[in-house]
Amino acid sequence: MKGAKHSGKRSKFRPHALFVGRGVAGAAYLVAFAGLILVALVFFLEIVGREPVRQEEAPVAAVPPEQEEGTQVELPEAYFQPGTEDAAGEDEEESPGLIRGEIAPGDTAGALLQQWLSPVAISAVVEAAKNVWPLSRIRAGRPYAVMLDQGDLTRFEYEADDNNRLVIEREIDGSAIRWKASLEKIAYDIRLMRVEGNIESSLFESMLLLGESPALAVRLADIFAWEINFIRDLQPGDSFRLLVEKRYRDGEFKDYGAIPVAEFVNKNKKFEAFRFKDSFGNNAFFTAVGESLKRAFLKAPLAFTRISSRFSSARLHPILDIVRAHPAVDYAAPTGTPVKAIGSGVVTFRGFGRGAGNYIVLKHAGGYESMYMHLSGFARSLKQGGRVRQGEVIGFVGSTGYATGPHLDFRMKKDGRFLNPEKVLSPRDEAVPKAKLAAFATERDRMRALLNGDISLDDYAPAQEQAETAQRQSGTAQ
């Protein structure tokens, strides 16, 4: 070619240069070429290599198939019930008109019921429940159930607590519709179990090692709270035995029921507790001879880690630096630790003192008084002149007034004279009435036999069952 310049060497065609010798452009060509091969391979497998799918292997539709005009397809009844779109997951024994659920956070009765009722009907339902169990008290997480009849709500159930279910039913009287509310006892499968163990470090740890809940440790400690200080008095080698009703629903453990008998060995001394009705018909715990385990005063007004200062007639005050009497026991505890009334009484003072800080004075029967000092605050319900029950939280540990750190300064008086709280001989509550001592002895012996294994636990009748049996027998006798 005229004017063309060359090196004098013959040019050769090299196909691989399209892909290798052209840098970035070559790489692009390589990717495109591989893509064409892949598409061709997929096309070949789809058209040639695929086997026909047999009709009987076709997957079942998860939703009802569309129907052509003139055909009929039978569908499960669950497709027509609210809230049962996934029919396979439903309990076959459930009524088709039954809807179960849990109250959602922020839900009210009105917001829940408006799915099935008009505002007028909701108002009537709320009014019917007002004097039985107000629907304003429903809370998130509690189970409910709704029964529908052709889309109309006929029954609403709500588990008010672990023992009671609120039931609201529709009643039709001619053309009038009324709503009736009632509380029903929730049925449990009650199984009596024997629990026994030894103390190594604490009662809580021992219960956990047995596979039991700390709640059972609290229950046991409450029974013997007037006999044993479970913070200070326990030591390795102590032991316990008890029978407890375990409550089940649908085979699942829910909580603990009654404890008909318990035994605790502390420092080689055995304490026994037998559940029996007191003179007011309330369940209480008694010793083997029928004396009440409950005393007028608790062993201590709080769960504490140590006594930082004991009752003394002459102590060097840590702040004033003078020697003077300390007619109190100081319990060291973190700020905010709840302080309980050691006995039932009247609040004669609730306020502030320069040395005592925030403090409370309670007046008890028999000329006794108890004082609680250096509190960080008072219970909201505590009012001067008001009454408190034994064990009720009245305040919280603090360091107000003359205090070097958070603690409770606890004092007691009788007829105006200070007592050493650690040495107060607290009188017992009312014993088993004499007229019931024979019945108590029979029940005590039966409980001991069950605890010792002399009688099978299968022969135990739960307390509720016993009461119902006694009521039926009483009605028959009349």
pLDDT per residue over 281-329, tens digit each?
889 999 999 999 988 888 888 875 667 677 555 555 565 555 557 788 8
Between the two ends of the chain, the Cα-to-Cα distance in Å is 135
- Alpha-carbon gap, residue 209 to 193, rounded angstroms: 16
The two three-digit tokens of residue 418, written as one number: 């200070």
Tell me, yes or no, whether 233 and 339 share the same domain. no
Tell me, yes or no, whether 213 and 132 share the same domain. no
Looking at the structure of the chain, the number of domains it has is 3
Residue 45 covered by a domain: no
Tell me, yes or no, whether 214 and 271 share the same domain. yes
Where helices occur in 88-213 by DSSP H, the ranges are: 109-113, 119-129, 203-209
Residue 274 covered by a domain: yes
Tell me, yes or no, whether 320 and 394 share the same domain. yes
Sign of the torsion formed by the C-alpha atoms of 468, 473, 474 and 475? positive
Q: What is the pLDDT of residue 2?
A: 43
Q: What is the pLDDT of residue 16?
A: 46
Tell me, yes or no, whether 254 and 327 share the same domain. no
The two three-digit tokens of residue 235, written as one number: 């030591």
- Alpha-carbon gap, residue 134 to 131, rounded angstroms: 7
Q: Tell me which H or E stretch contains 101.
A: strand 98-102
Task: Write the CATH number for 159.
Answer: 3.10.450.350
Coil, helix or strand for 358?
A: strand
Q: What is the pLDDT of residue 313?
A: 59
Q: For residue 316, which amino acid is it?
A: L
Residue 38 covered by a domain: no
Tell me, yes or no, whether 279 and 333 share the same domain. no
Cβ within 8 Å of residue 470, ≥6 positions away? none
Contact 226, 413 (CB under 8 A): no
Tell me, yes or no, whether 162 and 210 share the same domain. no
**Is the entire prediction scored with pTM above 0.75?**
no
Cβ within 8 Å of residue 223, ≥6 positions away? 259, 262, 273, 285, 293
Task: Show the domain range for 388.
Answer: 306-423
Question: E-strand spans in 163-219?
Answer: 164-173, 176-185, 189-198
Q: Which residues of the chain have pLDDT under 70?
A: 1-95, 304-306, 308, 311-324, 425, 462-478
Residue 48 covered by a domain: no
Tell me, yes or no, whether 100 and 161 share the same domain. yes
List b or e across 275-302, with b for residues whose CB sees 16 or more CB atoms inside 10 angstroms: bbbbeeeeebbbbeebebbbbbbbbbbb
Tell me, yes or no, whether 234 and 151 share the same domain. no
List b or e across 113-128, with b for residues whose CB sees 16 or more CB atoms inside 10 angstroms: beebbeeebbebbbeb
Of 403, 423, 443, the residue that ends a domain is: 423
What DSSP character marks residue 296?
S
Q: What is the pLDDT of residue 80?
A: 32
Q: What is the pLDDT of residue 478?
A: 41
Q: Which long-range contacts (CB under 8 A, 24 or more apart) does 117-121 make?
A: 117/153, 121/177
Largest CA distance in the chain: 140
Residue 244 covered by a domain: yes
Residues 25-55 pLDDT 10s: 555 555 556 565 655 554 554 444 444 433 3
Tell me, yes or no, whether 172 and 118 share the same domain. yes
Tell me, yes or no, whether 313 and 416 share the same domain. yes
Tell me, yes or no, whether 181 and 194 share the same domain. no
Contact 372, 337 (CB under 8 A): no
Q: What is the pLDDT of residue 208?
A: 93
Q: Give the residue from 320, 402, 326, 417 showing the smallest Cα distance to 358.
A: 402
Residue 135 covered by a domain: yes
Q: Give the residue from 222, 226, 284 showing the smallest Cα distance to 425.
A: 226
